[in-house]
Amino acid sequence: MSIRQFIQAKLNEITDIEIGTELPDDMLVLDTVYFSYLINDTFINKDFEQNATRNVSIIGYLKLKTSMDVDSLDIIDKAQEKIKAKLKEINFNATFNDVSIIDNIRKVQVRATGTYNEINKGIV
């Protein structure tokens, strides 16, 4: 299983967040949380047996389009905690930055990093 498949499978365990490709803001469904991301996989070094160590980064966005009668802050905070917990479970360190709230669309940038080691086939 590739790093990408491993990360996607773990994130798919979160059932109440739509995880996948980036959607334009005008295609977001009201009161649905979306998480889209890209993966950067950078070679660091390898040992004498050719086992590579790689830096893996995730850059993504949590998005939520809400109506005025819904507490969007509470919804996005709960989604952020679920993403953070799942990334922590697979040994990523995550940071979150509020990006904007325009036209009732709240966006949070997600950045996570971890080190992949071929010897144990996981993030350490």
Q: How confident is residue 93, by pLDDT bands cut at 50, 70 and 90?
A: very high
Q: CA-CA distance, 28 to 17, in Å (whole number)?
A: 12
Is residue 124 predicted with pLDDT exceeding 90?
A: no
Task: Check whether 102 has a pLDDT greater than 90.
Answer: no
* DSSP, res 124: -
Task: Say whether pLDDT at 49 is over 90.
Answer: no
Structural domains of the chain ordered from first start: 3-123 (3.30.2000.10)
pLDDT value at position 123? 84
With vertex at residue 59, the alpha carbon angle to CA 93 and CA 113, rounded to the nearest 5 degrees, is: 25
**pLDDT in the model for residue 101:** 79
Average predicted confidence (pLDDT) for the chain? 91
Rounded to the nearest 10 degrees, what angle do helices 72-89 and 3-11 cross at?
140
